Amino acid sequence: MSTARGEFSSRFGFLMAATGSAVGLGNIWGFPTNAASNGGAAFLFTYVILAFVMAYPAFMAELIIGRYSKSNAVTALRGLATSPGAARVGAGVGFAGMITVTLILSFYAIISGWMLAYMFAAMTDIARLESASTWLTQSGTTRDAVFAGIFYLLTIYIVVAGVKNGIEKWSSRLMPSLYLILIILIVYVLTLDGAMEGLRMYLVPDFSRVADPQLILSAMGQAFFSLSLGVGTMLIYGSYVSKKENLPAIGGMVTVLDMSVALLAGLLILPAMSVAQLNGIQIYDEQGALIAGPALITSVLPALFDQMGDGGILVALAFFALMSIAALTSSISMLEVPVAYFVEDRGVSRRKAVIVLGAVAASVSMVIIWNFGLMFDWVVRLTTEFSQPLLGFFFAIFAGWVWNRNALLTEIKQGYPEAESGLFWRIWPWYIKFVCPLIILAVYIQLII
Ligand code: PHE
């Protein structure tokens, strides 16, 4: 079986694919707006700390388990267990991850569809097709369904082509473009009047908020979501990494790259919002809270681009292309999770698995689109605030308590022979055993209190 498995062809390919999964709407939209609503730099500070002390170790657990077992999460966790009970829990966690990630894909595709629609709207603006632009930017179930559908087709197209010729190839093309577009946009926005106010909002901390449980919960959810944790995505990407690679090092690079996009996105979104405010666009709602939900991307920023005249159309095109790229390199990693399971464990062909599972997720999206007010927020919160950290907890327990320590070290030593004397091995096992599970639990308990 192992010869038929996909593998990333180079370190660069893995870095782009894993960073592509990690960098998504969570970084460019979620992080900056979370920061703005939670005390600016106080959030940034908490987030950076949590990313290193919790998300990175949890991420490493998935990567190491994945490369060791060279399989999907269900088989991998089941295989680590030494008792039938633990094996059942492991398989259950794997399945729960698969369901969670499919639900994440189902809401993610809806938002991504909006990004595509707005990108097309910039093109129809250039062609002066006004009525088309109006349809594309007006919320409606038909538009949402059509563009979520297009987004699924793109995702399916890439995943069908496999690990090397689909996921790796497209991530390696799209991720460098993403960085480039992001930097150009930041430079441009920072030259506009009013941008500095947004920068201040982002970078001047309100430290009275650091101990706020809501802030810590948001930062933890954000860190988990951003590194695609708990649902088996990084485990399956880890399973495609060659035994020659130094895992702690490449995992660290992905963490830093992911964080850098989030921090950079803050330099774009918050200044853009304050520029919008200076131009008379409303950025706070009636309750005085910052408009951070869908309205930010679908009304505040487009209103700003509109005011910029013809040049604004190009800015809009670049911005929504950026969002669409970020979304696509993440959605392919979501679909790969159940696909890998059905291909490896159930003997389904890749093509069939991708199409059927893509169709299943798309159907869930359609149900959400037609019951948007009722379901959307609920699905987002259930998956990202509840499921992901909880599943991350179990991954930590499996890596720290269930898995045999020698086997773990042997795995890390592949590609990193001097591991035993390194800093990683001195700190990480302890972290994954005690610190990660305890932080996750503490945050939950704090939430209940
Ligand atoms: N990390 C992605 C983002 O920041 C989302 C994601 C979650 C991707 C879970 C895969 C799995 O947008």
What mean pLDDT is predicted for residues 138-164? 97
Kindly indicate the confidence band of residue 176, based on its pLDDT and cuts at 50, 70 and 90: very high
- Look at residues 144, 111, 151, 107 and name the one whose alpha carbon lies nearest to residue 382: 107
Q: Measuring CA to CA, how many Å separate 412 from each of 73, 160, 231, 424?
A: 18, 31, 22, 10
Overall average pLDDT of the 353-370 stretch: 98
Phi, psi of 290 (to 5 degrees): -65, 135
Band of residue 10 on the pLDDT scale cut at 50, 70, 90 = very high
Answer whether residue 175 shows pLDDT above 60.
yes
Percent of residues, the chain, with pLDDT higher than 70? 99
Residue nearest to ligand 1 atom 7, measured at CA:
228
> What lines the ligand 1 site, CB under 6 Å?
21-22, 24-27, 101, 104, 225-226, 228, 231, 233, 330, 333-334
SS3 content of the chain, % helix, strand, coil (to 5): 80, 0, 15
Residue linked to tokens 């091995």: 425
Please count the other Cβ atoms lying within 10 Å of the Cβ belonging to residue 285. Answer: 12
As a whole number of angstroms, the distance between CA 354 and CA 346 comes to 13
Q: Specify the pLDDT at position 216.
A: 83
Question: Judging by beta carbons within 10 Å of its beta carbon (0-12, 13-18, 19+), is residue 142 exposed, middle or buried?
Answer: exposed
**What is the reported pLDDT for 4?**
66
Question: Residue 99 Cα, ligand 1 centroid: separation in angstroms?
Answer: 14
Q: What's the whole-number mean pLDDT along residues 175-203? A: 94
Q: How confident is the model at residue 288 (pLDDT cuts 50, 70, 90)?
A: confident
Is residue 326 left, alpha or beta, with left meaning phi > 0 and alpha meaning psi from -120 to 50?
Answer: alpha
Shortest-distance Cα residue to atom 9 of ligand 1: 228
pLDDT, tens digit, for every residue of 119-150? 999 999 999 999 999 999 998 999 999 999 99
Which residues sit opposite 290 in a β-bridge?
Answer: 284
Average pLDDT, the chain: 93
pLDDT tens digits along 229-241: 999 999 999 999 9
Centroid of ligand 1 to alpha carbon of 331 (angstroms): 8
The domain total for the chain is 1
DSSP 4: G
Global pTM reads 0.95
Ligand 1: centre distance to CA 21 (Å): 6
The CATH number for 153's domain is: 1.20.1740.10
Residue 61 has pLDDT above 90, yes or no: yes
Q: How confident is the model at residue 297, as a pLDDT? A: 85
pLDDT of residue 300: 87
300 vs 340 pLDDT, higher one: 340
DSSP 71: S
- Given a cut of 50, whether residue 2 has pLDDT beyond it is no
Choose one of 99, 228, 328, 383 to mutate for the ligand 1 pocket test, by most ligand atoms within 8 angstroms of C-beta.
228
With bands split at pLDDT 50, 70 and 90, how would you rate the model's confidence at 346?
A: very high
Whether pLDDT at 446 is above 90: no
Supply the pLDDT for residue 116: 98
pLDDT tens digits along 246-283: 999 999 999 999 999 999 999 999 999 999 999 999 98
Count of residues in the chain: 449
**pLDDT score of 360:** 98
Give the residue numbers spanning the domain of 409: 2-448
